[in-house]
C-alpha cells in the first residue's frame, strides 16, 4: 500500500500536477503553462478578484434592472398621447405634400400662361394672334371651359376670322 502511495506521488511529480495539496510559488513557476492554467482554474480566486467580481455582478444586475424598467410597455395615457402625436405628424406631412403639389401646379400654369402669351404676342398678324388665343386658352380648368371672350369681343373675333378679303384688318 505504501508502495502504491509512493507510486501515485511519483506519477503526480512526473506530470507536475497534484490535486491534493497546494502548490507553492516555486512549484507553480516550474509547471508547464497548460498545466498551470488547469491548476489555477480550480483554485479559489484571491480576495481582491472576488471583490471585483461581486462589484461587476452588482453593476450587471443594476443595469438589467434599469433596462427592464425602461423597456416596460408604456402606460395607456402615454400610448394614447404617442398615437395622437403620430396622427398629427401624419396630418402635417400630408398637408405639406398637398401644398407642394399645389405650388407645382400653380408654377406649371403660370409658366404655360406666360408661354402662350409670348406665342400670341409674337404672331405676324392680328388675325393669327386672335385665332391662336382662341385655340389655346391661357387657363385650363378640366371641369369647366368658360369662354374667355365677352359676347361683344366674340362677335368681333368671328367677323375678323370670317373676313376672307381682309377688309377689317387690311392696311391701305
pLDDT in tens, 45-73: 889 989 999 999 999 999 999 998 888 87
| Claim: this prediction has a pTM higher than 0.75 | no
Cα separation of 123 and 71, whole Å?
74
Mean pLDDT of the chain: 81
10 Å CB burial of residue 138 (0-12, 13-18, 19+) is middle
Which residue bears the cell 394614447?
A: 80
Residue 96 parent element (H or E): helix 76-121
pLDDT for the residue numbered 83: 92
| Count of Cβ atoms closer than 10 Å to residue 132 Cβ | 14
State the average pLDDT over residues 4-28.
59
pLDDT for the residue numbered 42: 82
pLDDT for the residue numbered 97: 95
* Domains of the chain by residue range: 16-70, 98-162
pLDDT of 2 higher than 50:
no
Sorting pLDDT into bands at 50, 70 and 90, what band is 102?
very high
Higher local confidence (pLDDT), 55 or 129: 55
pLDDT of 152 higher than 70:
yes
pLDDT of 6 higher than 70:
no
Amino acid at each position: 500500500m505504501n508502495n502504491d502511495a509512493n507510486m501515485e506521488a511519483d506519477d503526480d511529480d512526473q506530470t507536475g500536477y497534484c490535486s491534493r495539496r497546494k502548490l507553492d510559488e516555486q512549484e507553480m513557476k516550474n509547471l508547464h503553462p497548460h498545466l498551470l492554467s488547469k491548476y489555477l482554474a480550480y483554485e479559489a480566486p484571491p480576495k481582491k478578484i472576488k471583490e471585483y467580481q461581486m462589484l461587476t455582478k452588482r453593476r450587471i444586475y443594476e443595469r438589467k434592472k434599469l433596462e427592464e424598467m425602461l423597456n416596460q410597455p408604456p402606460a395607456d395615457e402615454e400610448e394614447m398621447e404617442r398615437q395622437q402625436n403620430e396622427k398629427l405628424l401624419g396630418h402635417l406631412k400630408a398637408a405639406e405634400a398637398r401644398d407642394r403639389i399645389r405650388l407645382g401646379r400653380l408654377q406649371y400654369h403660370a409658366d404655360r400662361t406666360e408661354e402662350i402669351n409670348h406665342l400670341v404676342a409674337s404672331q405676324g398678324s392680328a388675325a393669327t394672334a386672335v385665332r391662336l388665343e382662341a385655340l389655346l386658352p391661357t387657363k385650363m380648368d378640366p371641369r369647366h371651359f368658360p369662354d374667355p371672350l365677352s359676347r361683344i369681343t366674340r362677335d368681333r373675333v368671328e367677323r375678323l376670322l370670317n373676313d376672307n378679303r381682309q377688309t377689317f384688318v387690311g392696311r391701305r
